[in-house]
Structure 1
């Protein structure tokens, strides 16, 4: 057995060209923003920002934060993007102001602790107002030209609840608003004396968490109603709707040109409401809680199962079925064109279906469960019949690969073993042991080798015949190897890990020659397309990246 150490000298390596990312998690409140040019959309992916052209779908990535982005805003003239992040307890949380034209950092603003809760530019973009999170509790005013703080203040009285959001006046650089749990304040900036002076707006005795938007001051509450504040006098004016409140609270708002208000709710509904009464006139149902409202292009096919998590999926080789494994213990098949459910296998595994694969002849499904069982199912026209159960793994099965002839498969488990199974006699052929929690496994196309990756951050080559380890490579300095795949000729393989890097390797040499940098959080899975033109990777923040396979790979 030979052992090799792969140093992390990334600067000298060829970079994988990122073509696009598909989707994002959408959990950052008001994290989806439309640039004033009406052509570009901006949103966070973990610790990175994505700028996407809505016409060409071309995407650019801004890399600068060292932890997840918690909020962002765009200046009214479109010259700047400001983004804030979370960090660890006791540490400072950065704000980065980006130059939109150059896509480079313009300023890095550091005063708040732990988390940046919200950001807002003043009307002419002279100032940036920033709000710290619960562990910070302060508002700071920054001068954009000098890149220095002007002044700061606690966001609320000690007796008040937490402040969550900011909004600036539409025609005055020196006025802005803050809202939160039982607190709504009007702030006036006194630059000469370096102070901001608050005026509390009385909204009654009910404590609410509010969000601010529009030409008037509209406050969406967790109780499902809307407050209207008369801005010139900073006084409460109206509340609505009169009868039916918005279920699960108001989570996002946008005022429209005609005075109506667009409202997103915690139950996933988007309402167009009448000005003044806030009564819903139109309603659309989204797939989950609405966290941001902005213009967006058409969406690809989406398949959902309420309150269930899909752990694994694959296509049949003929492309006619999407086979998926779910945490409720069921295997589900879907039509790829419509997303309509084709079949369900109930009680496939009693601790959830954690891995699935389909044989090359499209006649059988091999599934793995959280309890460690491997099961083989016959795909008939009107039924899915269990034909074998194999139990040797002691923990969840995380990956299944089937050889070309459908005579055997290899399964990786969190129990520290990979097992090669005979799919004719349904018995174990070989078992691979290693001091790691295996996360991924793959056959070489010639099927004389199997390669694995796991929590020890190493890639191992194994003889498929006798299970002997023949090579070991250090694949990451800091992160678990979560996924790997080999190209159809067996010349290259790709790995992804918790360090947010996509690495393309030469198989025989065991050397990294190309690296993809762009994901904002831990990368979970990766695949090389059959024609070896693209690499697709997915990460924990919900992003799907498509990379161009290097043309000079040979």
Structure 2
């Protein structure tokens, strides 16, 4: 990635919609009580609790896997995953300056968990499955002090680590059949473990909390109970709850100032339970498994993150869930921005289409079709309808204000509808299917009519773009062909062929050229008139290009793909002017708003990012 980004200007990230709900304890509240801290892809986001303003910490080269905040609030630490055989980086951030304070590199493939010592002196890090070691780092010298295998040979994989609240030399680790209290012996540069005695209880520890006075360790397990262990003696003192176990395990624990526990389970149950007998005092059921709990200030307010990529706010008194952040929790397939406005945009993924406000990244509307996947969508220019392509072979048309289903075209394509576009006069829809057919539909006041089926593609139609005069369209397909069609006479006018699976195609605004891209990582310019290739650019050094869009004046175009980079290109020069690095998943689609001020990109991890387009439009 470094090679590709050298000497090229960085794109400015303006806003991010998304929350990685699969990072355990990934949601944190800064001790100042002002900011929520959480990961999204390879970025750490700081979000103001008051006004929702976002700041971004960039530096990771792959998905962030864990986050920790020091007790004083001076530092944030974040670890990442990396490819097999490569080392995974830990970054310690200076919170006040919002800069990288240190980069620590020892663990292989993944950093599983991080914890700061109470005085910010040390950071303890736990490696993932391929690494299995615990390392203690000196924050001041930015060096590793010592390390050790995280668990005994007879035990399984270690999953979590937590520092003592009062002692810089004591921390605890837990995992599959292992629960250890570690003591740091600084003069000899060693850490020495003591196994906790849990008797006949054989458990997989998933999360740890230590009481404020360091007397007890509370360990949440995958079997849905909580073990209470005396920290000094290392002996089990209690285990519960006996009757109502938390189904799908205890994912996360937090201790309130009263000593009672906040418990989040894999089934979405979120409770306050008593410190003495684990009896449930308050309970609420959330949509999906709870993966993070972050307490603000004195514990009267807390935030809960779930696997459904949602963040809830709770007040202790009424214990009611208020949804403050929503996002897609599966791959975003497509994005559409209405023509002539830059205030809204829409995205689609498995089961749903969502409409967002562009300035305040806020969900305005959600249209859900259970157990179906929306592959592609378009917003009609008159603003009266959202047209969408679904994997059950149906085209669905919705009203953008209410989400009401206005029209459904059954059996539009046999094997699922994969691409869709609407004409400028809003009277026709062009759709493409998995079987390779291209169909033109006429929208009527009370229904629809199939005008023609065009059958030259041999494989999935991946992208459709319609010419401004509504008389021609171009379709890209994974059969290695792009076809320009006459959609008045329903005949093919031109075919371009390349040794690639085409993913995306664009008309130049002057419509005498098209640009294509796909799995061969090349961006190719073609002459519409005779289908000849004019120019070929190396679009990416690694991975297919999945999305492309072109500015209204035709001077610039943007690409995004499996290399996770957003690139802005000069059309005439054929050179990259800006690169955006923030996505943690493969980029699935990318769109420029019609006044070329904003760029929206989406990725396979459910993230939606809004960038400031760096060039001013002259159209």
In the alignment, the residues of structure 1 paired with residue 267 and residue 596 of structure 2 have an alpha-carbon distance, to the nearest angstrom, of 42
Question: Match for residue 263 of structure 1?
Answer: 263
C-alpha contact (below 8 Å) 2:125/2:135 kept by paired residues: yes
Question: Match for residue 241 of structure 1?
Answer: 241
Question: Match for residue 539 of structure 1?
Answer: 603
Question: Match for residue 3 of structure 1?
Answer: none
* Aligned-pair CA distance for 1:121: 0.8
Q: How does 1:281-296 map to 2 (within 5 A)?
A: 281-286=282-287, 288-294=288-294, 295=303, 296=311
Q: How does 1:352-367 map to 2 (within 5 A)?
A: 352-367=416-431
1:163 aligns with 2:158: yes
In the alignment, the residues of structure 1 paired with residue 210 and residue 547 of structure 2 have an alpha-carbon distance, to the nearest angstrom, of 45
1:118 aligns with 2:113: yes
C-alpha contact (below 8 Å) 1:226/1:278 kept by paired residues: no
In the alignment, the residues of structure 2 paired with residue 426 and residue 278 of structure 1 have an alpha-carbon distance, to the nearest angstrom, of 70
C-alpha contact (below 8 Å) 2:41/2:607 kept by paired residues: no
1:65 aligns with 2:47: no
Listed one character per residue, the Cα deviations across residues 312-360 of structure 1 (whole Å, up to 9, x for unaligned) are 2222223333333334444444443455655554544444332222222
C-alpha contact (below 8 Å) 2:41/2:582 kept by paired residues: no
In the alignment, the residues of structure 1 paired with residue 447 and residue 379 of structure 2 have an alpha-carbon distance, to the nearest angstrom, of 18
TM-score scaled by structure 1? 0.89
* Aligned-pair CA distance for 1:386: 4.4
In the alignment, the residues of structure 2 paired with residue 116 and residue 354 of structure 1 have an alpha-carbon distance, to the nearest angstrom, of 38
Among residues 547, 565, 568, which one is paired with 1:504 in the alignment?
568
In the alignment, the residues of structure 2 paired with residue 432 and residue 225 of structure 1 have an alpha-carbon distance, to the nearest angstrom, of 62
Alpha carbons of structure 1 residues 303 and 387: separation in structure 2 relative to 1, 3 Å: same
C-alpha contact (below 8 Å) 2:179/2:205 kept by paired residues: no
Greater shift, 98-107 or 379-388, is seen at: 379-388
Listed one character per residue, the Cα deviations across residues 151-201 of structure 1 (whole Å, up to 9, x for unaligned) are 222211211121101111222222211111222222222223333222223
In the alignment, the residues of structure 2 paired with residue 110 and residue 524 of structure 1 have an alpha-carbon distance, to the nearest angstrom, of 31
C-alpha contact (below 8 Å) 1:274/1:281 kept by paired residues: no
Among residues 562, 569, 580, which one is paired with 1:516 in the alignment?
580
C-alpha contact (below 8 Å) 2:171/2:182 kept by paired residues: yes
Listed one character per residue, the Cα deviations across residues 491-526 of structure 1 (whole Å, up to 9, x for unaligned) are 322222333332323334434333334334432221
Question: Match for residue 356 of structure 2?
Answer: none
1:92 aligns with 2:83: no
Alpha carbons of structure 1 residues 15 and 136: separation in structure 2 relative to 1, 3 Å: closer
C-alpha contact (below 8 Å) 1:81/1:97 kept by paired residues: yes
Alpha carbons of structure 1 residues 66 and 9: separation in structure 2 relative to 1, 3 Å: closer
Question: Match for residue 182 of structure 2?
Answer: 187
1:399 aligns with 2:485: no
In the alignment, the residues of structure 2 paired with residue 553 and residue 265 of structure 1 have an alpha-carbon distance, to the nearest angstrom, of 50
TM-score scaled by structure 2? 0.80
Alpha carbons of structure 1 residues 285 and 231: separation in structure 2 relative to 1, 3 Å: same
In the alignment, the residues of structure 2 paired with residue 509 and residue 56 of structure 1 have an alpha-carbon distance, to the nearest angstrom, of 41
* Aligned-pair CA distance for 1:409: 1.9
Question: Match for residue 277 of structure 1?
Answer: 278
C-alpha contact (below 8 Å) 2:553/2:617 kept by paired residues: no
Question: Match for residue 431 of structure 1?
Answer: 495
1:416 aligns with 2:480: yes
Please give the secondary structure, in 2, of the residue aligned with 1:210.
strand
* Aligned-pair CA distance for 1:450: 1.6
Question: Match for residue 201 of structure 2?
Answer: 205
1:150 aligns with 2:145: yes
* Aligned-pair CA distance for 1:417: 0.8
Question: Match for residue 26 of structure 1?
Answer: 21
* Aligned-pair CA distance for 1:468: 2.6
Among residues 442, 455, 462, which one is paired with 2:526 in the alignment?
462
C-alpha contact (below 8 Å) 1:24/1:541 kept by paired residues: no
* Aligned-pair CA distance for 1:412: 0.9
C-alpha contact (below 8 Å) 1:241/1:278 kept by paired residues: yes
Please give the secondary structure, in 1, of the residue aligned with 2:503.
strand
Among residues 522, 536, 539, which one is paired with 1:472 in the alignment?
536
Please give the secondary structure, in 1, of the residue aligned with 2:292.
coil
Please give the secondary structure, in 2, of the residue aligned with 1:42.
strand
C-alpha contact (below 8 Å) 2:203/2:222 kept by paired residues: no
* Aligned-pair CA distance for 1:293: 3.0
In the alignment, the residues of structure 2 paired with residue 255 and residue 363 of structure 1 have an alpha-carbon distance, to the nearest angstrom, of 60
C-alpha contact (below 8 Å) 2:43/2:59 kept by paired residues: yes
C-alpha contact (below 8 Å) 1:439/1:482 kept by paired residues: yes
* Aligned-pair CA distance for 1:292: 2.5
C-alpha contact (below 8 Å) 1:19/1:58 kept by paired residues: no
Greater shift, 273-282 or 419-428, is seen at: 273-282
In the alignment, the residues of structure 2 paired with residue 471 and residue 433 of structure 1 have an alpha-carbon distance, to the nearest angstrom, of 14
C-alpha contact (below 8 Å) 1:440/1:483 kept by paired residues: yes
C-alpha contact (below 8 Å) 1:261/1:278 kept by paired residues: no
Question: Match for residue 338 of structure 2?
Answer: none
Question: Match for residue 307 of structure 2?
Answer: none
Greater shift, 541-550 or 59-68, is seen at: 59-68
Question: Match for residue 12 of structure 2?
Answer: 17
In the alignment, the residues of structure 2 paired with residue 268 and residue 310 of structure 1 have an alpha-carbon distance, to the nearest angstrom, of 26
Alpha carbons of structure 1 residues 229 and 383: separation in structure 2 relative to 1, 3 Å: farther
Alpha carbons of structure 1 residues 345 and 234: separation in structure 2 relative to 1, 3 Å: farther
C-alpha contact (below 8 Å) 2:269/2:283 kept by paired residues: no
Provide structure 2 residue ranges, at least 5 long, that are not aligned to the other structure: 295-302, 304-310, 312-323, 327-361
Question: Match for residue 527 of structure 1?
Answer: 591
Please give the secondary structure, in 1, of the residue aligned with 2:148.
strand
Please give the secondary structure, in 1, of the residue aligned with 2:227.
strand
C-alpha contact (below 8 Å) 2:62/2:80 kept by paired residues: yes
Please give the secondary structure, in 1, of the residue aligned with 2:239.
strand
Listed one character per residue, the Cα deviations across residues 399-441 of structure 1 (whole Å, up to 9, x for unaligned) are 1112223323211111111112232343322211112221111
